Amino acid sequence: MLLYRSAAWFAKGLREYTKSGYESASKDFVPDDLEVQVPGRAFMVTGGNSGIGKATAMEIAKRGGTVHLVCRDHSRAEGARAEIIRESGNQNIFLHIVDLSVPKSIWKFVENFKQEHTLNVLINNAGCMVNKRELTEDGLEKNFATNTLGVYVLTTALIPVLEKEHDPRVITVSSGGMLVQKLNIDDLQSERTAFDGTMVYAQNKAGSLPLAPPGKRQ
């Protein structure tokens, strides 16, 4: 099965992730679809201090949206927030320091958040790839705790907040790498097999979508 999945992933990669794949997909891209303004709508972006999360937060800010950055590293997050404000001219950029591998920290964060803020869109972008098996203070494997359980807990906790607003959305960023692994629901914390951070990450990404609350997927 692993050989089949690797072959399927390789074939998909050649077809979709190469220059020819990009050129083929670009034929259906309509630039005007991105020309939208979102003032009055609030977006939460986890892992918003770098990479895809930061780019997403920047574009939302430029379009007038309120942005809530949820990050783990305070120093890096402050730098990202300052850059987003500077480049977008949007002052409505809020920073929240949360360790998404610790469920109780997530619940506490949401309890405080809903007292002061509204939310229209949650973008689950944060993730990690720890290559050596490491446990959190709760005894959870760290990749699983962050990439799968953290996504589930944050989304579940925020659903009542989202449902109060018009046209709420939950967007969960996945990875094509998940296609190389069949989700093993009997070993979600990678206790029974040799630990490989890359394969664990693929498992986590495969698990983050089916573990989303039923009826609340986007």
Residues involved in catalysis: 201
Q: Token digits for 15?
A: 């077809």
Reduced to 3 states (helix: H, G, I; strand: E, B; else coil), residue 2 is helix
**Which 3 state secondary structure label does DSSP give 94?**
strand
- The CA–CA distances, whole Å, from 49 to 44, 56, 185, 202 equal 12, 10, 31, 22
Q: Kindly report the CA angle at 184 between 179 and 187, in degrees rounded to 5?
A: 135
Pick the closest to residue 47 from 125, 105, 123 (CA basis): 125
